[in-house]
Amino acid sequence: MYTQCPECLSVFSLDVHTLAQAHGHVVCGHCKASFDSIATLAEQLPPEPFHELPVNEPAFEPPCVDLVVYRPRPDPPAVVESEAAVTDAPATEDFSQLVFAPRFAREARARRPSRPARRQRSLVPGERRWPWVVACSTLALLLVAQLAWAERDPLIRDPGVGSWLRNSCHVLNCELPLVAAPKQLRLLASNVQAHPSVAGALMISASVRNDAAFAQPYPVLTITLSNAQGQHIAMRRLQPGEYLDDPAVLQRGLAPGASAVLLLEVEDPGNKAVAFEFSFE
């Protein structure tokens, strides 16, 4: 709100708190003149430039205010009871909360020895959680070990994982199981000739090298004999135990990069067999 000094025409901004303290009478801060601030009190200033604020004409009757924004609730009347009324009122007792026990129940309860109250054990957070964590971790490790054992052949054949497993076994002084990789066996030389001491038999020799990075068992050797027209006339599948007699050699397998000469004795199919071929399984 704004008001104007009638002497020097200075316009001042003032608030409700200032008006309430002075009851409308204020002192000009410019010319020190005392004047009634309510006479020219206005909420907004007129557009500039202006000379004097309009004077508020006094009303012949006090204005009526009818917009109620708050009305405090009246306090409830205090009820004072006389001492005579309190004394004369009949005394009533409430028996609804009483519990009656039979005599034999009271006697049995009196004879029963009192037991000390059980103290509840305070549980530390996580006190009963660690056994479950250990059990779940153990089961997870067992599951991983079982899956690794089931997929041991592909893992050992893998260059990266297989190398790590072989180095670990070398440090732990253990041995990896032999894994067959027939495609990494190379036939270096082969020869077929009549058996020098057995009639009607052939002596077949084959030189095999293991090109894998890991040891593998001796392969199942398949020999196929063909005639001049290229037709197969005889075939024989030989297990490792049929062409090797030493169990220790069979157990060690064919070391990586090692070569072995295999000697085979088969029945001579006759003059029809003019070609032969080897395959590994």
What's the CATH code, domain 182-280? 2.60.40
pLDDT score for 70: 64
Average pLDDT of every residue of the chain: 77
Going edge to edge, which strands form the sheet with 221-226? 232-238, 221-226, 275-280
Q: Which of 28-37, 62-71, 138-147 is most confident?
A: 28-37
Confidence of residue 28 (pLDDT cuts 50, 70, 90): very high
Look at the block and give the residue holding tokens 């557009």: 47
- Cα-based distances in Å from 224 to 50, 194, 205, 213, 247: 125, 16, 14, 29, 27
Q: What radius of gyration, in Å, describes the C-alpha atoms of the chain?
A: 58
pLDDT score for 117: 52
For residues 112-117, average pLDDT: 58
Confidence of residue 40 (pLDDT cuts 50, 70, 90): confident
For residues 243-269, average pLDDT: 83
Cα of first residue to Cα of last residue in the chain, in angstroms, is 107
Distance in angstroms (rounded) separating the CA atoms of residues 54 and 36: 14
Tokens of 89: 């009122």
Express each pLDDT in 177-236 by its tens digit: 778 888 888 888 888 888 888 887 878 888 889 888 888 888 888 888 887 777 787 788
pTM over 0.85: no
One DSSP character per residue, 181-243 reads -GGGEEEEEEEEEE-SSSTTEEEEEEEEEE-SSS-BPPPPEEEEEE-TTS-EEEEEEE-HHHH
Distance in angstroms (rounded) separating the CA atoms of residues 240 and 253: 10
What is the DSSP-derived secondary structure letter of residue 42?
Answer: B
pLDDT score for 171: 76
Q: What are the extents of the domains in the chain?
A: 1-59, 135-172, 182-280
For residues 274-281, average pLDDT: 80
